[in-house]
Amino acid sequence: MAERISGKTKLIGLLGTPISHSLSPKMHNEAFAKLGLDYVYLAFDVDNEQLPGVIQGFRSLNVRGCNVTMPNKTVVLQYLDKLSPAAELAGAVNTVVNDNGVLTGHITDGVGYMRALKEDGIDIIGKKMTITGAGGAATAICIQAALDGVKEISIFNRKDAFYERAEQTVKNIMEKTDCNVKLFDLEDTNTLYKEIEDSAIFTNATGVGMKPLVGQSLITDPAVLRSDLIVSDVVYIPEKTRLLEMAEEQGCRTINGLGMMLWQGAEAFKIWTGEDMPVDYIKELLF
Protein backbone atom coordinates (compact mmCIF):
# COMPACT_ATOMS: atom_id res chain seq x y z
CA MET A 1 0.00 0.00 0.00
CA ALA A 2 2.80 2.46 0.99
CA GLU A 3 4.16 2.75 -2.57
CA ARG A 4 0.62 3.23 -3.92
CA ILE A 5 -0.06 6.49 -2.04
CA SER A 6 1.39 9.63 -3.59
CA GLY A 7 0.78 13.36 -3.49
CA LYS A 8 -1.72 12.89 -6.34
CA THR A 9 -3.71 9.96 -4.98
CA LYS A 10 -7.46 10.57 -5.26
CA LEU A 11 -9.83 9.65 -2.46
CA ILE A 12 -13.13 7.77 -2.76
CA GLY A 13 -15.18 7.45 0.44
CA LEU A 14 -17.95 5.23 1.75
CA LEU A 15 -20.46 7.05 3.98
CA GLY A 16 -22.76 5.07 6.24
CA THR A 17 -23.19 3.48 9.65
CA PRO A 18 -22.47 0.75 10.66
CA ILE A 19 -19.74 0.44 8.09
CA SER A 20 -16.81 -1.65 9.31
CA HIS A 21 -18.22 -4.92 7.88
CA SER A 22 -18.39 -3.54 4.31
CA LEU A 23 -16.68 -5.45 1.49
CA SER A 24 -16.52 -2.31 -0.67
CA PRO A 25 -13.09 -0.99 0.55
CA LYS A 26 -11.45 -4.32 -0.29
CA MET A 27 -13.31 -4.59 -3.60
CA HIS A 28 -12.30 -1.15 -4.85
CA ASN A 29 -8.76 -0.99 -3.41
CA GLU A 30 -7.88 -4.39 -4.91
CA ALA A 31 -9.28 -3.24 -8.26
CA PHE A 32 -7.30 0.06 -8.12
CA ALA A 33 -4.12 -1.89 -7.31
CA LYS A 34 -4.73 -4.47 -10.06
CA LEU A 35 -5.19 -1.74 -12.70
CA GLY A 36 -2.49 0.55 -11.26
CA LEU A 37 -4.98 3.40 -10.70
CA ASP A 38 -3.96 6.17 -8.29
CA TYR A 39 -7.02 6.08 -6.03
CA VAL A 40 -7.71 4.96 -2.48
CA TYR A 41 -11.12 3.93 -1.03
CA LEU A 42 -11.83 4.47 2.68
CA ALA A 43 -14.92 3.83 4.80
CA PHE A 44 -16.22 6.61 7.08
CA ASP A 45 -18.75 6.01 9.85
CA VAL A 46 -21.22 8.80 9.06
CA ASP A 47 -24.85 9.23 10.11
CA ASN A 48 -27.56 11.63 8.84
CA GLU A 49 -26.48 14.41 11.19
CA GLN A 50 -22.82 14.33 10.15
CA LEU A 51 -23.62 14.03 6.44
CA PRO A 52 -23.92 17.73 5.42
CA GLY A 53 -20.56 18.58 7.02
CA VAL A 54 -18.91 15.55 5.42
CA ILE A 55 -20.24 16.39 1.94
CA GLN A 56 -19.08 19.99 2.38
CA GLY A 57 -15.67 18.69 3.45
CA PHE A 58 -15.52 16.42 0.39
CA ARG A 59 -16.27 19.44 -1.82
CA SER A 60 -13.51 21.48 -0.15
CA LEU A 61 -10.99 18.65 -0.45
CA ASN A 62 -12.06 17.90 -4.04
CA VAL A 63 -12.63 14.23 -3.16
CA ARG A 64 -13.38 12.30 -6.38
CA GLY A 65 -16.53 10.64 -5.07
CA CYS A 66 -18.16 8.28 -2.64
CA ASN A 67 -20.55 5.44 -2.10
CA VAL A 68 -23.47 6.20 0.17
CA THR A 69 -25.18 3.51 2.19
CA MET A 70 -27.65 3.12 5.07
CA PRO A 71 -28.90 5.39 6.60
CA ASN A 72 -27.83 8.11 4.13
CA LYS A 73 -29.11 6.92 0.73
CA THR A 74 -32.14 9.22 0.58
CA VAL A 75 -30.98 12.02 2.90
CA VAL A 76 -27.91 12.72 0.73
CA LEU A 77 -30.01 13.94 -2.23
CA GLN A 78 -30.48 17.44 -0.82
CA TYR A 79 -26.71 18.06 -0.69
CA LEU A 80 -26.03 17.15 -4.35
CA ASP A 81 -26.13 19.27 -7.53
CA LYS A 82 -27.44 16.74 -10.06
CA LEU A 83 -29.04 13.30 -10.19
CA SER A 84 -28.97 10.54 -12.81
CA PRO A 85 -32.43 9.66 -14.23
CA ALA A 86 -32.53 6.44 -12.18
CA ALA A 87 -31.51 8.21 -8.95
CA GLU A 88 -34.16 10.84 -9.57
CA LEU A 89 -36.86 8.20 -10.06
CA ALA A 90 -35.69 6.20 -7.03
CA GLY A 91 -35.25 9.20 -4.75
CA ALA A 92 -32.07 7.47 -3.58
CA VAL A 93 -28.35 7.54 -4.31
CA ASN A 94 -25.57 5.02 -3.64
CA THR A 95 -22.79 6.63 -5.69
CA VAL A 96 -21.63 10.25 -5.92
CA VAL A 97 -19.09 11.61 -8.38
CA ASN A 98 -17.41 15.00 -8.07
CA ASP A 99 -16.67 16.58 -11.46
CA ASN A 100 -14.79 19.81 -10.73
CA GLY A 101 -17.07 20.75 -7.86
CA VAL A 102 -20.34 19.46 -9.38
CA LEU A 103 -21.67 16.54 -7.34
CA THR A 104 -23.85 14.07 -9.26
CA GLY A 105 -25.76 11.26 -7.54
CA HIS A 106 -26.29 7.84 -9.17
CA ILE A 107 -27.96 4.63 -8.07
CA THR A 108 -26.03 1.62 -9.38
CA ASP A 109 -27.82 -1.29 -7.64
CA GLY A 110 -30.38 -1.66 -10.43
CA VAL A 111 -27.73 -1.43 -13.14
CA GLY A 112 -25.80 -4.07 -11.20
CA TYR A 113 -28.83 -6.36 -11.10
CA MET A 114 -29.58 -6.00 -14.83
CA ARG A 115 -25.91 -6.45 -15.76
CA ALA A 116 -25.66 -9.61 -13.64
CA LEU A 117 -28.62 -11.08 -15.56
CA LYS A 118 -27.03 -10.12 -18.87
CA GLU A 119 -23.68 -11.65 -17.89
CA ASP A 120 -25.57 -14.88 -17.17
CA GLY A 121 -27.16 -14.74 -20.64
CA ILE A 122 -30.61 -13.86 -19.25
CA ASP A 123 -32.72 -11.43 -21.30
CA ILE A 124 -35.88 -10.03 -19.69
CA ILE A 125 -36.35 -7.01 -21.96
CA GLY A 126 -39.94 -6.82 -23.23
CA LYS A 127 -41.00 -9.43 -20.66
CA LYS A 128 -42.77 -9.48 -17.29
CA MET A 129 -41.16 -9.57 -13.85
CA THR A 130 -42.76 -10.35 -10.50
CA ILE A 131 -40.82 -9.11 -7.49
CA THR A 132 -41.22 -9.33 -3.72
CA GLY A 133 -39.97 -6.31 -1.78
CA ALA A 134 -40.23 -2.54 -2.10
CA GLY A 135 -37.18 -1.38 -0.17
CA GLY A 136 -33.97 0.10 -1.51
CA ALA A 137 -32.87 -2.95 -3.50
CA ALA A 138 -36.32 -3.65 -5.00
CA THR A 139 -36.88 0.00 -5.93
CA ALA A 140 -33.54 0.26 -7.73
CA ILE A 141 -34.20 -3.02 -9.58
CA CYS A 142 -37.72 -2.03 -10.68
CA ILE A 143 -36.58 1.39 -11.91
CA GLN A 144 -33.63 0.07 -13.90
CA ALA A 145 -35.68 -2.82 -15.30
CA ALA A 146 -38.33 -0.31 -16.45
CA LEU A 147 -35.71 2.07 -17.92
CA ASP A 148 -34.08 -0.86 -19.74
CA GLY A 149 -37.37 -1.97 -21.33
CA VAL A 150 -38.95 -4.63 -19.12
CA LYS A 151 -42.61 -4.55 -20.19
CA GLU A 152 -44.48 -5.28 -16.97
CA ILE A 153 -43.60 -5.47 -13.27
CA SER A 154 -45.79 -6.78 -10.45
CA ILE A 155 -44.49 -5.73 -7.04
CA PHE A 156 -45.61 -7.53 -3.86
CA ASN A 157 -44.88 -6.08 -0.44
CA ARG A 158 -46.32 -6.41 3.01
CA LYS A 159 -48.29 -3.40 4.24
CA ASP A 160 -45.45 -1.73 6.09
CA ALA A 161 -43.82 1.70 5.58
CA PHE A 162 -42.22 0.48 2.35
CA TYR A 163 -45.63 -0.13 0.78
CA GLU A 164 -46.56 3.57 0.84
CA ARG A 165 -43.21 4.53 -0.66
CA ALA A 166 -43.76 1.93 -3.35
CA GLU A 167 -47.01 3.62 -4.39
CA GLN A 168 -44.96 6.70 -5.29
CA THR A 169 -42.33 4.58 -7.08
CA VAL A 170 -45.07 2.96 -9.18
CA LYS A 171 -46.40 6.41 -10.12
CA ASN A 172 -42.90 7.64 -11.04
CA ILE A 173 -42.15 4.61 -13.21
CA MET A 174 -45.53 4.76 -14.98
CA GLU A 175 -45.03 8.48 -15.69
CA LYS A 176 -41.45 8.28 -16.93
CA THR A 177 -41.24 4.89 -18.72
CA ASP A 178 -43.34 2.58 -20.91
CA CYS A 179 -43.37 -0.12 -18.26
CA ASN A 180 -46.69 -1.16 -16.74
CA VAL A 181 -46.16 -1.51 -12.96
CA LYS A 182 -48.64 -2.74 -10.35
CA LEU A 183 -48.36 -2.96 -6.58
CA PHE A 184 -50.02 -5.74 -4.53
CA ASP A 185 -50.27 -6.80 -0.91
CA LEU A 186 -47.89 -9.69 -0.24
CA GLU A 187 -50.57 -11.33 1.90
CA ASP A 188 -52.60 -11.97 -1.25
CA THR A 189 -50.84 -15.22 -2.05
CA ASN A 190 -53.33 -16.24 -4.78
CA THR A 191 -52.60 -13.09 -6.75
CA LEU A 192 -48.85 -13.48 -6.18
CA TYR A 193 -48.94 -16.99 -7.63
CA LYS A 194 -51.17 -15.85 -10.50
CA GLU A 195 -48.81 -12.98 -11.42
CA ILE A 196 -45.84 -15.36 -11.39
CA GLU A 197 -47.68 -17.64 -13.86
CA ASP A 198 -47.11 -15.33 -16.84
CA SER A 199 -43.82 -13.81 -15.66
CA ALA A 200 -40.46 -14.60 -17.22
CA ILE A 201 -38.65 -13.95 -13.94
CA PHE A 202 -39.45 -13.98 -10.23
CA THR A 203 -37.17 -11.96 -7.96
CA ASN A 204 -36.92 -11.89 -4.20
CA ALA A 205 -35.67 -8.45 -3.14
CA THR A 206 -36.37 -8.79 0.59
CA GLY A 207 -34.03 -10.09 3.27
CA VAL A 208 -36.16 -13.23 3.66
CA GLY A 209 -33.72 -16.11 3.19
CA MET A 210 -30.76 -14.39 4.83
CA LYS A 211 -29.89 -14.05 8.52
CA PRO A 212 -32.02 -14.08 10.73
CA LEU A 213 -34.53 -15.53 8.22
CA VAL A 214 -32.29 -18.27 6.78
CA GLY A 215 -34.31 -21.27 5.58
CA GLN A 216 -37.41 -19.15 4.93
CA SER A 217 -39.01 -18.30 1.59
CA LEU A 218 -41.91 -16.05 0.64
CA ILE A 219 -42.92 -18.70 -1.91
CA THR A 220 -44.09 -21.75 -0.01
CA ASP A 221 -45.67 -23.80 -2.83
CA PRO A 222 -42.84 -25.13 -5.04
CA ALA A 223 -45.32 -25.89 -7.87
CA VAL A 224 -45.50 -22.12 -8.56
CA LEU A 225 -41.89 -22.29 -9.71
CA ARG A 226 -42.42 -23.80 -13.18
CA SER A 227 -39.26 -25.04 -14.86
CA ASP A 228 -39.04 -22.25 -17.46
CA LEU A 229 -39.27 -19.49 -14.81
CA ILE A 230 -36.03 -17.68 -13.96
CA VAL A 231 -35.74 -17.27 -10.21
CA SER A 232 -33.42 -14.66 -8.72
CA ASP A 233 -32.63 -13.57 -5.21
CA VAL A 234 -30.78 -10.43 -4.13
CA VAL A 235 -29.42 -12.34 -1.15
CA TYR A 236 -25.99 -13.95 -1.61
CA ILE A 237 -25.20 -15.05 1.95
CA PRO A 238 -26.18 -17.87 2.07
CA GLU A 239 -25.17 -18.52 -1.51
CA LYS A 240 -28.35 -20.54 -2.01
CA THR A 241 -31.45 -19.31 -0.19
CA ARG A 242 -34.39 -21.61 0.50
CA LEU A 243 -36.13 -19.99 -2.50
CA LEU A 244 -33.23 -20.82 -4.82
CA GLU A 245 -33.01 -24.37 -3.45
CA MET A 246 -36.71 -24.89 -4.16
CA ALA A 247 -36.36 -23.34 -7.61
CA GLU A 248 -33.42 -25.60 -8.46
CA GLU A 249 -35.40 -28.67 -7.38
CA GLN A 250 -38.16 -27.55 -9.78
CA GLY A 251 -35.63 -27.27 -12.64
CA CYS A 252 -35.62 -23.44 -12.79
CA ARG A 253 -32.64 -21.37 -13.80
CA THR A 254 -31.48 -19.49 -10.67
CA ILE A 255 -29.26 -16.51 -9.91
CA ASN A 256 -28.27 -15.17 -6.49
CA GLY A 257 -27.35 -11.59 -5.46
CA LEU A 258 -23.57 -11.90 -5.80
CA GLY A 259 -23.51 -10.68 -9.40
CA MET A 260 -25.67 -7.68 -8.47
CA MET A 261 -23.29 -6.78 -5.65
CA LEU A 262 -20.20 -7.05 -7.88
CA TRP A 263 -21.71 -5.20 -10.86
CA GLN A 264 -23.14 -2.34 -8.79
CA GLY A 265 -19.58 -1.83 -7.54
CA ALA A 266 -18.20 -2.10 -11.07
CA GLU A 267 -20.64 0.54 -12.29
CA ALA A 268 -19.57 2.96 -9.51
CA PHE A 269 -15.90 2.18 -10.29
CA LYS A 270 -16.51 3.09 -13.94
CA ILE A 271 -18.25 6.36 -12.95
CA TRP A 272 -15.27 7.47 -10.82
CA THR A 273 -12.35 6.16 -12.89
CA GLY A 274 -13.69 5.65 -16.42
CA GLU A 275 -12.20 2.12 -16.27
CA ASP A 276 -13.80 -1.34 -16.19
CA MET A 277 -13.42 -3.13 -12.88
CA PRO A 278 -11.69 -6.52 -13.25
CA VAL A 279 -14.82 -8.26 -11.96
CA ASP A 280 -13.67 -11.89 -12.32
CA TYR A 281 -10.44 -11.14 -10.46
CA ILE A 282 -12.35 -9.36 -7.65
CA LYS A 283 -14.85 -12.20 -7.38
CA GLU A 284 -12.00 -14.71 -6.95
CA LEU A 285 -10.40 -12.54 -4.25
CA LEU A 286 -13.56 -11.83 -2.25
CA PHE A 287 -15.42 -15.14 -2.42
Per-residue burial over 31-56, b if 16 or more Cβ lie within 10 Å, else e, is bbeeeebebbbebeebeeeebeebbe
The CB-nearest residue to ligand NAD is 135
Binding residues for ligand NAD restricted to 212-271, rule: CB under 6 A = 234-236, 257, 260-261, 264
Sheet holding 39-45, edge to edge: 39-45, 10-16, 65-68, 95-99, 102-106, 82-83
> Cα–Cα distance between 48 and 50 in angstroms, integer?
6
* Cβ pair 272, 65 in contact under 8 A: yes
Rounding to the nearest 10 degrees, give the CA dihedral for residues 106, 108, 114, 120: 150
Q: Does 208 bind ligand NAD (CB under 6 A)?
A: yes
- Least distance between ligand NAD and beta carbon 78 (Å): 19
For residue 134, give the DSSP letter.
-
Smallest separation, CB 61 to ligand NAD (Å) = 28
If binding is defined by CB under 6 A, does position 207 make contact with ligand NAD?
yes
State the Cα–Cα distance between residues 262 and 265, nearest whole angstrom. Answer: 5
Residue nearer to ligand NAD on the CB measure, 210 or 246: 210
72 touches ligand NAD (CB under 6 A): no
Measured from the CB atom, the residue of 63 and 247 that comes closer to ligand NAD is: 247
151 is catalytic: no
Footprint on residues 79-118 left by ligand NAD (CB under 6 A) = 109, 112
Rounded least distance, CB 27 to ligand NAD, Å: 11
Catalytic residue among 34, 73, 127, 240: 73
Among 91, 135, 149, 222, binds ligand NAD (CB under 6 A): 135
Catalytic sites, residue numbers: 73
**Which chain residues interact with ligand NAD by CB under 6 A?**
109, 112, 133-138, 157-158, 160, 162, 186, 205-208, 210, 234-236, 257, 260-261, 264
